[in-house]
Amino acid sequence: MATVSGVKKRTMKMQCCGNLSPQAHYPSMTRYPSPEAKRAVQGSSEAKAVFRVLGMTCAACAASIEKAIKRLPGIRDAIVDVLNNKALVVYFPSLVTEKRIRESIEDAGFIAESIEEESNESSSEICRIHIKGMTCTSCSSTIESTLQGIHGVQKAQVALATEEAQIQYDPKIVSHDQLLQAIENTGFETILISTGEHISKIELKIDGIKNDQSMRAIEKSLEALPGVETIDIYPDINKASIAYRPYLTGPRTFIEVIESSGSGCFRAMIYPEERGRESHRQQEIKQYLKFFLWSLAFTIPVFLTSMVLMYIPGIKHVLDIKVVNMLSIGMILKWEFSTPVQFIIGRRFYVGSYKALRKGSANMDVLIAMGTNAAYFYSLYVIVRAGFSRDFKGTDFFETSSMLISFILLGKYLEVLAKGKTSQAIAKLMELTPGTAILLTLDHDQGNVVAEREIDSRLIQRDDVIKVVPGAKVACDGFVIWGQSHVNESMITGESRPVAKRKGDMVIGGTMNENGVLHVKVTRVGSESALSQIVRLVESAQMAKAPVQKLADHISKYFVPMVILLSLSTWLSWFLAGQFHAYPKSWIQSSMNSFELSLQFGICVMVIACPCALGLATPTAVMVGTGVGATHGVLIKGGQALESASKVNCIVFDKTGTLTLGKPMVVNTRLLQKMALKDFFVFVAAAEVNSEHPIAKAIVEHAKKFKDEQNPSWPEASNFVSISGHGVKAIVQNKEIMVGNKKLMLDHNISIAVEAAEVLAEVEGIAQTGILVSIDREIAGVLAVSDPLKPGANEVVSILKSMKIRGIMVTGDNWGTANSIARQVGIETVIAEAQPEAKANKVNDLQNCGYTVAMVGDGINDSPALVAADVGMAIGAGTDIAIEAADIVLVKSNLEDIILAIDLAKKTFYRIRLNYIWALCYNLLAIPIAAGTIYPFTRLRLPPWIAGAAMAASSVSVICSSLMLKNYKRPQKLKNMDLSGIKIE
């Protein structure tokens, strides 16, 4: 990869011609932050302020407050919590004050007061750690319990299938280095993956470093940059690893700082990238393959000597030649070849056993070590005894120990190979980002493009302007400032049809530009991007355990000690039976005695019973299921959401934005006073223009049709008051204007004439919302606002009924409109004029009646119900992926994805149940056979090495079963909808 200086040398400063035709010019392009603001930000640290906000009732309220706050200079972020009536603002004190922020909230029509964050409220950060060396659920449970016992750790999840830990902790109490050390103390290797959701990491290769002093100078220069969190220097390979906040700085800045240090003798470039989790997986696969091949090289001679060559007369004679007393050449050869397998290649099993036993737990390594040691050391005893005796005849089991280790290593190799395929969804998502991007240089005065150059996409920083040519992928999230095109977003949202993009529209990093050139201003990079949020959400989902997995974890906790006890009991039972002649001597082969027969049965029991298949049954299916969901535009937050969704038999729908498009329009106006329609809308728009409510915006947009072109602005409204859930009132041109619902008028003692009441009833009867307008306390007119039904909504409800899933609609709209919409879609039970808490109460009532309830809403004003439901489905997510209240995010906003999510959950849990049946039946059948229960009747027994192969096969078969989910197809009923011409947009 070329250095930045190399790129600069190759840069062609192109005037706006040739491939930049036509010339791009952005006269209205936002130039915030200004250079002065940037300098002020660099000189100060960010601060946080928490406000108690009164008067919020819905998403529109929260959106208007956020918008008002973010208009201020120096605001880094603003988060408004409708449920708790709080607003958290992160800002730069050098640019804005806490008082000014509070005033902006009050200007938006709400009551705000500053509150101190609770002193006992702990901060929270999430780190992810890759863990090497876990073999079964006993290992993951040990690490999880160790982490949860650390002071400052709030939550710890360890996933065997992904070999990762996700830890939520308080950084003021414990550091991620201490967490790494705690895991390593339990006997496992660790690699830190990430340390926070809003922190990105870049690795740079630095050439020209001659001594430690040079490296320290570079480190000091980087530490002075705002937004740099940590710097790790690796002088032996000239590498610097930098963790930073992408909204403050970026890698191009780091390279410029490094290359400007030391009189320009340093050169920096992005370090050749390893593919993270995938590189560790590939390394592990290669390691197991190498161990298996070496083990095989030593095991084959042992196998041939024991099983094949002894039946060839000439060679048998050579092998039977006695060296000392009864010690033969064949026995010595087997001993020599099996010893490296047992102690060098099989060393990992000893290390794993020691680390597990040291922590008071037992895992699969303990079973393998005990089984192979029993075979090896008994064989060693036979050799020693043969060397000192003239008449001793014993049988060694060197082939048992070496073949056992070889087959177990083969099984582990196949297992990690298969497990790698379960996480391919994440790998594919991470590969969506293009390797390079075209960076534009703008003329600061006119906003014209003066030059362009191709750079590594990892060097893009916030507020850069990039050029996206036809057929190229969008490198980062941003908004279009010039050009128009169609963008294929199917790789992110699952939506197959290209989406039109023009100036002002948002684009998502990783999507494909179909036609036309776009100039995009970058708004999110690194960990902030939508693609990173999706990857993080899918990774978190794959970490989360389903409730059904608790059974497997509980069984695995006692499984290994129980198997050891069962193995010892099997050996002792057969040995004592032989000593007391409880079975005829003919049962014992001439080449062994009763002790050796009982030993083989005991070893078989020990190695054939493995908790791995049981431990992998749920997480592998969840990994594949969530990955498949992500490719279809359905983001499922973990095993619990999957399990609950598979049992759903009742769905509660919100109306606006869920069953309807969520874009209200004024479709009719009825004047009840003698006045011009133009004058009527002047009063209405002047009052509503200050409101952020969707219906208010629709009214203002409609009123623009009657606006006087010579006087484009609305009259000023004074004494504006927004009455949550009812409407607004204001003084416009000395007249009192009220715009709202029936309750607003009645609360203010305004009589509703018979004609107005009839119009209202007529409007609501055809699924429209009636808005009353009073001027000087007399009803002047009625506006009919319609929110069109989503295409295919009634078909989706019909399909849900055929799946025996009950549909209910709960909305804050009036009863007339709600009933009309419900009739159109085929929903029988309706609850209207419901506040957010009433929706949650309805969900609770349904749950008390025995229903498993899914709530489908917009994720903000429906959040109490989304949290209360067994499964919360957030619809209308767009690119704002991280909707905390929901369990399932329907990225495309399609109603059909509700059916897809439920169907996928059912298929995934069918696969989980199948995995459990196989894993449990395998052990229930295999252990008795290994213990010799059928031997008295058939004279058939399992050699220990075959038991080892069967144990390995059980884990691989469970993973392959889970991988069958990758063949998941959309339900046939949805395909029929497409065929009949109903395609939900």
Which residues have a catalytic role annotated?
Answer: 654
How many helices (H) and strands (E) are present in the chain, helices listed first? Answer: 33, 36
Question: Quick one: which of 430, 538, 530, 526 has its CA closest to 159?
Answer: 538
Nearest Cα residue to 62 out of 821, 787, 853, 880? 880
By C-alpha distance, which of 639, 627, 625, 637 is closest to 881?
A: 637
Residue 84, C-beta contacts closer than 8 angstroms, at least 6 positions apart: none
* Alpha helices, DSSP H, located in 126-211: 137-148, 176-185
What are 6's two structure tokens? Answer: 């190399």
What is the H or E stretch that residue 657 is in? Answer: none
Contact 166, 637 (CB under 8 A): no
CA distances from 216 to 269, 612, 768, 898 (A): 18, 48, 69, 56
What DSSP character marks residue 116? P
Handedness of CA 763, 768, 769, 771 (dihedral sign): negative
Block residue for tokens 């002649």:
581
State the burial class of residue 291 (Cβ atoms within 10 Å of its Cβ: 0-12, 13-18, 19+). Answer: buried
Phi, psi (degrees; rounded to nearest 5) at 199 = -125, 125
Report the SS3 class of residue 216: helix
Residues in CB range of 917: below 8 A, 6 or more apart: none
Q: Which residues, including other chains, have CB under 8 Å from residue 979's CB and lie 6 or more apart?
A: none
- What's the Rg (C-alpha) of the chain? 35
Q: How far apart (Å, rounded) are the C-alpha atoms in residues 127 and 229?
A: 14
Between CA 616 and CA 273 the distance in angstroms is 30
DSSP string, 303-370: HIIIIIGGGSHHHHHHHT-EEETTEEHHHHHHHHHHHHIIIIITHHHHHHHHHHHHTT---HHHHHHH
163: its two tokens: 């070999």
How big is the CA angle at 274 (ends 270 and 276), to the nearest 5 degrees? 120
DSSP sequence for 467-486: EE-TTPBP-SEEEEEE--EE
* CB neighbourhood size of 837 (10 A): 12
Residue 495: strand, helix, or coil: coil
**945 vs 743: CA distance, rounded Å:** 80
- What's the CA gap between 252 and 271, in Å, rounded? 13
Tokens for 804?
């025996």
Torsion of CA 270, 276, 281, 283, to 10 degrees: 30
CA torsion 209-215-220-221 (nearest 10°) is 20
| CA-CA-CA-CA torsion sign (866, 869, 872, 875) | negative
Q: Would you state the structure tokens that stand for residue 452, as one six-digit string? A: 């362009």
Q: Give how far the C-alpha of residue 491 lies from the chain's centroid of Cα atoms, to the nearest Å.
A: 16
For helices 277-303 and 398-422, angle between their N-to-C axes, nearest 10 degrees: 160
